[in-house]
């Protein structure tokens, strides 16, 4: 911050109304209110020092520097924020070498597919790099509607809406639809974006046991009547555990208890179903069995952004009024939408990519089981977690693989429970048999090496 900006900030802080919380207006914008005269003045920290002692900031800074120090002292490469050049494919260029890559959810290899890249370039030439405004006020370009019609057709529902981010889609849609007095019944492994949505909404969130219809039923029996609107939220394919959402059973139970249903297809669209049309196709469900089908463009479709497909009135309302997904936010970049449309074209033209993806997943799963690695509750899907308890141990295995030419991310708390740290492997249709089998050998060796680490590292 420059000196004059500091002065200005000091003056503002000396005035009233700054830093006193405030309320949210109907348009989603925070309003500040003057401090009540009777309330004792709170000690204020000066500009630039507002957050240095914030517990989460301090903890994150300490954690990052401890991790960096461990890698620096051990001489091992730090797998976090690994500087990389080129696209995020099965082989990436990093550390001046080629690495076999398992850290990208580029399930069908579409993000660098020539047709996808060409479509994005053409849209850049035609529409520029940015939408430069929200759709409501800036005029529609046909790309958005074309993608939305394709998605609505795939889900066999009235309409769809594309957004700039999958995370914001969950947060904004739930934030818009639920409020105080309402409830979201969530699978206990539900993604953080759904949790954010419930916080945004100010509704209650009640979890049921992961993928457990009996648990959902008993939670609904016990609690449903205490709330006004209720939404059951589940995923098609769980991103940390590689489990398959029991979507059809859970949705049917939700309906018995007069609940709406939302399914997050972030990791199932493009992955499940014979033609990659997601968990609905996998289970043979009707579009109307679920109220809100949510997905991202940033995973199998090789682009970036989110979408929902639902009843046309619901979509119309959100397109015009939902903050963060349509209102008060810029439209998705035209190049990203063109890329996703081209990604859908490739999916339609080459369903064999989905077959290859599953052949690879089964091959890798069998190879890891043969080597007696702990795959948790995973079900042989293209998300394969290898449980390596202890944050340092998991990091050690990831760094050892990196030294030997394989990149797979280590995941620790809070993303997974303490003691269930893991390496997560995303399999794609483009991995070769040789890459998969040699990685299985290297991984088994690295996990064995990690067993010999001092016990303190298993914490």
Ligand X SMILES: Cc1ncc(COP(=O)(O)O)c(C=O)c1O
Judged by the rule CB under 6 A, the positions of this chain that interact with ligand X are 165-167, 170, 191, 193, 235, 239, 264, 266-267, 296, 298, 306
Per DSSP, the three-state class of 30 is: strand
**How many whole angstroms separate alpha carbon 80 and alpha carbon 164?**
25
Q: Which is nearer to ligand X, 104 or 375 (CB)?
A: 104
What is the smallest separation between the CB atom of 399 and ligand X, expressed in angstroms?
Answer: 23
What is the smallest separation between the CB atom of 304 and ligand X, expressed in angstroms?
Answer: 7
What is the smallest separation between the CB atom of 319 and ligand X, expressed in angstroms?
Answer: 19
Q: Which is nearer to ligand X, 189 or 447 (CB)?
A: 189
Q: What ranges make up the beta strands (E) of 14-153? A: 23-24, 30-31, 84-85, 91-94, 97-101
What is the smallest separation between the CB atom of 63 and ligand X, expressed in angstroms?
Answer: 21
Q: Which is nearer to ligand X, 306 or 343 (CB)?
A: 306
What is the smallest separation between the CB atom of 269 and ligand X, expressed in angstroms?
Answer: 11
Q: Which is nearer to ligand X, 297 or 440 (CB)?
A: 297
Q: Which is nearer to ligand X, 267 or 319 (CB)?
A: 267
What is the smallest separation between the CB atom of 385 and ligand X, expressed in angstroms?
Answer: 13
Please work out, in degrees rounded to the nearest 5, the angle formed at the alpha carbon of residue 302 by the alpha carbons of 298 and 307: 40
What is the smallest separation between the CB atom of 296 and ligand X, expressed in angstroms?
Answer: 3
Alpha helices in 139-230 (DSSP H): 142-155, 166-177, 192-201, 213-223
> Which has the closest alpha carbon to 406: 98, 32, 10, 3?
98
**How many whole angstroms separate alpha carbon 308 and alpha carbon 48?**
39
Q: Which is nearer to ligand X, 191 or 353 (CB)?
A: 191
Q: Which is nearer to ligand X, 273 or 306 (CB)?
A: 306
**How many whole angstroms separate alpha carbon 148 and alpha carbon 145?**
5
- Helix, strand, coil: what percent of the chain each, to 5? 45, 15, 40
CB 205 within 8 A of CB 198: yes
Q: Which is nearer to ligand X, 236 or 395 (CB)?
A: 236
What is the smallest separation between the CB atom of 173 and ligand X, expressed in angstroms?
Answer: 11
Interhelix angle 391-403/55-74, rounded to 10 degrees, is 40
Closest residue to bound ligand X by CB: 166
What is the smallest separation between the CB atom of 299 and ligand X, expressed in angstroms?
Answer: 7
**How many whole angstroms separate alpha carbon 114 and alpha carbon 157?**
31
What order of strands is seen across the sheet that includes strand 422-426? 383-387, 422-426, 409-411
> Which has the closest alpha carbon to 293: 307, 276, 277?
307
Beta bridge partners of 230: 183
Q: How far is CA 336 from CA 168, 280, 325, in A?
A: 16, 25, 16
Q: Which is nearer to ligand X, 224 or 267 (CB)?
A: 267
Beta bridge partners of 262: 233, 292
Tokens representing 303? 């682009």
What is the smallest separation between the CB atom of 169 and ligand X, expressed in angstroms?
Answer: 7
Q: Which is nearer to ligand X, 103 or 165 (CB)?
A: 165
**How many whole angstroms separate alpha carbon 429 and alpha carbon 360?**
7
CB 60 within 8 A of CB 414: no
CB 324 within 8 A of CB 245: no
**How many whole angstroms separate alpha carbon 35 and alpha carbon 20?**
7
Backbone angles phi, psi at 231, to 5 degrees: -130, 130
Tokens representing 231? 């939404």
What is the smallest separation between the CB atom of 178 and ligand X, expressed in angstroms?
Answer: 17
Q: Which is nearer to ligand X, 159 or 265 (CB)?
A: 265
Q: Which is nearer to ligand X, 277 or 393 (CB)?
A: 277
Give the H or E element holding residue 309: strand 306-310
What is the smallest separation between the CB atom of 271 and ligand X, expressed in angstroms?
Answer: 12
């Amino acid at each position: 911050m420059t000196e004059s900006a500091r002065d200005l900030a000091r003056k503002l802080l000396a005035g009233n109304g700054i830093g006193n919380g405030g309320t949210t207006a109907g348009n989603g914008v925070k309003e500040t209110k003057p401090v009540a005269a009777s309330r004792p003045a709170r000690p204020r920290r000066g500009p630039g020092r507002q957050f240095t002692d914030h517990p989460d900031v301090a903890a994150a800074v300490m954690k990052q520097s401890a991790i960096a120090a461990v890698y620096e002292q051990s001489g091992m490469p730090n797998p976090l924020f690994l500087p990389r050049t080129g696209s995020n494919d099965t082989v990436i260029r990093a550390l001046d070498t080629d690495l076999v890559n398992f850290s990208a959810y580029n399930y069908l290899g579409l993000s660098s597919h020539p047709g996808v890249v060409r479509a994005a370039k053409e849209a850049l030439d035609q529409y520029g790099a940015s939408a430069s405004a929200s759709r409501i006020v800036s005029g529609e370009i046909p790309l958005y509607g074309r993608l939305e019609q394709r998605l609505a057709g795939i889900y066999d529902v009235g309409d769809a809406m594309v957004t700039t981010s999958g995370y914001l889609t969950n947060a904004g849609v739930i934030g818009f639809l639920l409020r105080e007095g309402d409830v979201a019944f969530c699978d206990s492994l539900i993604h953080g974006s759904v949790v954010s949505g419930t916080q945004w909404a100010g509704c209650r969130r009640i979890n049921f046991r992961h993928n457990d219809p009996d648990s959902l039923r008993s939670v609904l029996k016990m609690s449903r009547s205490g709330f006004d609107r209720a939404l059951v939220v589940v995923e098609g394919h769980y991103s940390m555990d590689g489990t398959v959402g029991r979507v059809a059973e859970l949705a049917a139970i939700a309906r018995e208890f007069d609940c709406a249903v939302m399914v997050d297809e972030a990791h199932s669209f493009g992955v499940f179903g014979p033609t990659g049309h997601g968990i609905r196709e996998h289970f043979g469900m009707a579009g109307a069995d679920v109220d809100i089908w949510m997905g991202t463009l940033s995973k199998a479709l090789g682009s970036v952004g989110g979408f929902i497909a639902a009843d046309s009135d619901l979509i119309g309302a959100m397109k015009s009024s939902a903050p963060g997904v349509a209102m008060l936010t810029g439209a998705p970049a035209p190049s990203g939408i063109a890329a996703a449309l081209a990604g859908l074209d490739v999916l339609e033209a080459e369903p064999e990519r989905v077959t290859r993806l599953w052949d690879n997943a089964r091959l890798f799963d069998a190879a890891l089981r043969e080597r007696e690695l702990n795959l948790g509750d995973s079900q042989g899907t293209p998300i394969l977690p290898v449980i390596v308890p202890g944050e340092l141990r998991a990091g050690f295995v990831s760094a050892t693989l990196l030294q030997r030419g394989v990149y797979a991310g280590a995941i620790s708390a809070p993303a997974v429970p303490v003691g269930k740290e893991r390496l997560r492997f995303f399999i794609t249709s483009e991995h070769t048999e040789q890459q998969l089998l040699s990685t299985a050998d290297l991984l088994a060796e690295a996990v064995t090496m990690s067993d010999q680490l001092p016990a303190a590292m298993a914490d």
